[in-house]
Amino acid sequence: MAEDVLKALADPTRQRILDELVERDGQTLFEICTRLVTKHGLGLSRQAVSQHLAVLEAAGLVETRREGRYKYHNLNTQPLERILTRWLRPNTPEKPS
């Protein structure tokens, strides 16, 4: 699991997506694409951003919920917290996922 998280975080585009979700959680794909273009100058297709979101979701860093026609993306910090606990407090038992 930690390997998936670290691989997901290795990509600068995915880091920017997470930065945007930190700033404003619960965004749609369209909103994320718009923010990446306007704030970072990244002209990625919706399909490319969707693929990045799928990697983040597979790593557990992003959770999605569907409301009608829209899919909202939310940041999940628990995988990061587990990694930090592993290295910063090695004698603390990990909580089950």
Which residue, 15, 54, 47, 12, is CA-closest to 33? Answer: 47
The answer as to whether 96 is a domain residue is no
Give 72's DSSP letter.
E
Q: In which domain, by residue range, is 7 found?
A: 2-88
Cα separations in angstroms, 78 against 72, 81, 95, 96: 18, 5, 10, 11
The answer as to whether 95 is a domain residue is no
Residue 94, pLDDT > 90, answer no
pLDDT of residue 95: 62
The CB density around residue 21, as the number of other CB atoms within 10 Å, is 21
The answer as to whether 97 is a domain residue is no
pLDDT tens per residue across span 39-74: 999 989 999 999 999 999 999 999 999 999 999 999
Domain CATH number, residue 66: 1.10.10.10
The answer as to whether 19 is a domain residue is yes
pLDDT tens per residue across span 18-36: 999 999 999 999 999 999 9
Cα-to-chain-centroid distance, residue 3: 15
The answer as to whether 61 is a domain residue is yes
The answer as to whether 30 is a domain residue is yes
pLDDT band (50, 70, 90) for residue 93: low
Q: How many domains does the chain have?
A: 1
